Amino acid sequence: MSQQANPRGTFLKIADSVKRQIEHDPDMTELPSLAEVMRDHKVSRGVALRAFGVLRQEGVAEPVPGGRWRVVRAGAQADRRPLDQRIAGIITAEGLEAGEAFPSASVLAQRFGVSRPTVTKALEKLEAAGVLAGGGQGRVRTVRAVPTREERS
């Protein structure tokens, strides 16, 4: 009988490998992409996702909508509010007033570490709520109103 790798538990071995990476690199803030895990460990997407699920259960990492999984470190504070609320917070944090230009989707995507389509969805929510005006291809988005307490929290 030939010895073959047992597929059961492979995702646990991958999770352990990623945990070791996190422990050895204190500056690591996000997990490798699913594609990198699949390539490096020669596994399917499902196995890689199960490994990420283990890391989530153990409180080592958490998913980020529109971005890579984030490393969770003990004692580190992460803003877990929805993206639209974090973006609206820019208005008060930077003292923007009605009529002033708002940062572009590209700038916001880089600032929050998420994809542009994810930022665009959040900006659309703020436009629908009457907080921002304008936007769209080639148009500068402006502040329409300072967010109320409910929109900021």
pTM value > 0.85: no
Question: pLDDT higher for 113 or 120?
Answer: 120
Tell which residue, 10, 6, 20, has the closest CA to residue 51.
Answer: 10
The 10 Å CB-count burial string (b at 16+, else e) for 91-108 is beeeebeeeeebbebeeb
pLDDT per position as a tens digit, 25-82: 988 888 999 999 999 999 999 999 999 999 989 888 888 777 788 888 876 566 667 8
Confidence of residue 19 (pLDDT cuts 50, 70, 90): very high
Torsion angle defined by CA atoms of residues 138, 143, 148 and 152, in that order, rounded to the nearest 10 degrees: 50
Chain centre distance of CA 132: 22
Which of these ranges, 7-11, 84-88, 105-109, has the smallest mean pLDDT? 7-11
Q: At what angle do helices 45-57 and 34-41 cross, to 10 degrees?
A: 110
Tell me the average pLDDT across 6-22: 86
